[in-house]
Structure 1
C-alpha cells in the first residue's frame, strides 16, 4: 500500500509539472521575460516545490538525512536528466547552441555552493549562528549576488497560445500548489518505505525520493527539448538546483535542534561530491569551444551518466 501511495503521488507531480511547463511557456510568450529567465527562476522555482515540502516534512518527522539527502540528491538527479537528454540529442550539440552569459554564472554558483556543503558536512560541528549553519548564510549571499549580476537579453518569442498573461499566471500558480501538496505525501510514504525495506534514510532521500521530486524537472526538460527550447531546459535545471540550495536554508531554519548539516550522516557528503563532479562536467560542456565530432561532444554527458550509476551502486 505504501508503494501505491508513493507512485500515486509521483503521478500527480508529473501531471502538475506538465501544466507548469505549459503555462510557463504562456508567460514566456506573453511577458517581456526571456526564456532563460523563465526557465531559471519561474519554472526552476516552481518545480523545486516538491523538494521544499519533502524536506520540511522530513524535519517535522525528525529525519535529517531525508531532508538533506532529498535536496542534494534532487540536484544530482536534475543534472543527470539534463545530461541524459544532451546525450540523446547529441547530434544537436545543445550546449554549443545556447547563450553562455546567463547559464555559466548560475552553473558556477551551483558549483561553489555545493562545494560549501561538502565542506560543512565533512566538518565535524561546523560553526552555526542562531541554530543555522554558517554555510547557509553564505548560500544566501552568493545567490543574491548572482541574481543581481545576471544579464537577460532580448529575444524574439513566437506567440502560439490563445491564453492571456493573467490566465497563464493563475493556472501556473494552481499547478504549483498541486506540486507543493504532493511533496509531503512523497516524503511520508518514502520514510515508511525506508522502515519497511531496511534501506537507510540517506539512500532513500538521495536517490528514491530525490528522483521522485525531480519528476517535474524531467517533464520540463523533455518538453523543452521536444520544442527545441534548449536554453529554457538548461535554465530550468540550473535554476532549480540553485533554488533547492536556498530551500535547504529554509529547511535549516525550521530545524530547531541545531545546524542540520551537523546532524546528517557522512553518506550525504558522497552525494554532494557526486553533484560537484556532475556540475563541473556541465560547466565544461557549456564553455568549451564548438565540437564537430559527435562522439567527442557526447563525452561529458556520457561520463555524467556513468558516474551517477556507479555512485548509486556504491551507496546502495
Structure 2
C-alpha cells in the first residue's frame, strides 16, 4: 500500500479526507458532552477534544520515530503546533461578530496559553544542551509528562475557582453548560461510545498518513523537514481546523479556543512518546536547526496570542484581531522560507 509514490499519494489523500470529516462530528459531540457532563467547554476542549484531535499527530509522529525518521517525526509535531495557531486565526476570520480572542477570553484559556509556552521550552532546552540519555531516553521526557499533569491541575482549578475573570462586554460569549438531559445515562453512554470510535478512526488515519508521507519524502526532492513541518503537520492537524470552525459556527467559542490551546499542550506529550519510541538515542539530539527554529517561532506566535487575550481588541484588520493578523503573517513567511531552503 505504501510501496509506490502513486499509491502513497492516494492513501495520503484518503486519510486526510477521513480526518477532516471525522473532525466535524467530534466538535458536535464535544459540545454536547460539555453540556451533558457540566464540565464546560474549556475542560472538554482542552482535555478530551484536544486529546482526540491530537491522535493523528500522535500516531504519525510515533510511526516516523519508530521507523527512524527523526527529522520527519519532530518536523511533524513542530509544524502541527504552529499550524494549529493558524487554524485559530482562521476561526477568528469565520467569527464575524467580533475578535474571537475578545469574545472567548477566559481564565482557563489564558492559563493554557501560558502553560503551552512553558511546556514547549522544556524540549527546546534539551535540543540545545549537552546530549544526555538514559537507555536512549532524555531525562526531560518524564519531566514533560509531570509538567503537563500539574499544569492541567491549574487549568481545572481556574475553571471551578477562577481568581481572575475577564471583563464582560456585549461581545463576550459566556460558556454556560446546559444541565438538561444529564439524567439520560443511556444517551450519555452512547455519546461516549461514538466519541471513542471516532478517536480510533482518526488515530488509524494518522498512522496511514505518516506511512504515506515517508514514501513521499523518500521518492521526491522534498526534505523530511519540509514534508513533516508543512505537509503532514497540516493534514494530521485537520481535525483541529474543522472542529474549530464547527465550534465557532455553533457558537461554542470557548470550546474552539480551548481545543487549539489544549491540543498544543497535549502535543507536547508527543515529544515524550517520540523520545521513547526512537531507538537511536534521544530524539532531541537527532534533529536540526529547522525544527528548533519552528519551535521558537511557535513560542513567539503563542506570546502574540496571549497578548491578544489580554488586550482583547474588539475589531482589527479585516475584522480580526492584531494577534491573528501577525500570526498569519509569521506563519506564511516561515513556510515560504522552509520551502525555498
Quickly name the TM-score band, shorter chain normalised. over 0.9
- Whether 2:287 is the aligned partner of 1:253: answer no
- Distance in 1, matches of 2:141 and 2:35, equals 35
What is the Cα deviation at residue 92 of structure 1?
Answer: 1.4
Residues 58 and 66 of structure 1 are in contact (CA less than 8 Å); yes or no, is this contact kept in structure 2? yes
- Whether 2:285 is the aligned partner of 1:276: answer no
2:226 aligned to 203, 221, 241, which one? Answer: 203
Equivalent positions of 1:159-238 (< 5 A) are: 164-238=187-261
- Whether 2:169 is the aligned partner of 1:146: answer no
What is the Cα deviation at residue 23 of structure 1?
Answer: 1.8
- Whether 2:112 is the aligned partner of 1:106: answer yes
In structure 2, the residue matched to 1:50 is 56
Residues 140 and 246 of structure 1 are in contact (CA less than 8 Å); yes or no, is this contact kept in structure 2? yes
What is the Cα deviation at residue 297 of structure 1?
Answer: 6.0
What is the Cα deviation at residue 294 of structure 1?
Answer: 2.9
What is the Cα deviation at residue 91 of structure 1?
Answer: 4.3
In structure 2, the residue matched to 1:136 is 141
- Distance in 2, matches of 1:278 and 1:159, equals 39
- Distance in 2, matches of 1:253 and 1:86, equals 37
What is the Cα deviation at residue 160 of structure 1?
Answer: 8.9
- Distance in 2, matches of 1:183 and 1:119, equals 28
- Distance in 1, matches of 2:101 and 2:333, equals 25
Worse overlay, 127-136 or 266-275: 127-136
- Distance in 2, matches of 1:209 and 1:292, equals 34
- Distance in 1, matches of 2:265 and 2:52, equals 12
Structure 2: 5+ residue stretches without partners: 1-5, 161-174
Residues 90 and 298 of structure 1 are in contact (CA less than 8 Å); yes or no, is this contact kept in structure 2? no
TM-score normalised to the size of structure 1?
A: 0.93
- Whether 2:177 is the aligned partner of 1:156: answer yes
What is the Cα deviation at residue 88 of structure 1?
Answer: 4.3
CA offsets 1:253-309 (integer angstroms, 9 cap, x no match): 122221101011221111111111111111111112x43453396221111101101
What is the Cα deviation at residue 99 of structure 1?
Answer: 4.1
Residues 53 and 181 of structure 1 are in contact (CA less than 8 Å); yes or no, is this contact kept in structure 2? yes
Residues 72 and 272 of structure 1 are in contact (CA less than 8 Å); yes or no, is this contact kept in structure 2? yes
Residues 38 and 177 of structure 2 are in contact (CA less than 8 Å); yes or no, is this contact kept in structure 1? no
- Distance in 2, matches of 1:99 and 1:159, equals 25
In structure 2, the residue matched to 1:4 is 10
- Distance in 2, matches of 1:242 and 1:291, equals 25
- Distance in 1, matches of 2:153 and 2:72, equals 32
Residues 12 and 179 of structure 1 are in contact (CA less than 8 Å); yes or no, is this contact kept in structure 2? yes
Q: Cα–Cα, structure 1 residues 242 and 235, in superposed 2: closer, same or farther, change >3 Å?
A: same
Q: RMSD across aligned C-alpha pairs, in angstroms? A: 2.1
Worse overlay, 178-187 or 246-255: 246-255
Number of matched residues? 314
Structure 1: 5+ residue stretches without partners: none
In structure 2, the residue matched to 1:291 is 313
What is the Cα deviation at residue 169 of structure 1?
Answer: 0.1
CA offsets 1:115-168 (integer angstroms, 9 cap, x no match): 233333233x43333322233233223212211122224833275999811010
TM-score normalised to the size of structure 2?
A: 0.86
In structure 2, the residue matched to 1:84 is 90
Q: Cα–Cα, structure 1 residues 291 and 22, in superposed 2: closer, same or farther, change >3 Å?
A: closer
Residues 139 and 245 of structure 1 are in contact (CA less than 8 Å); yes or no, is this contact kept in structure 2? yes
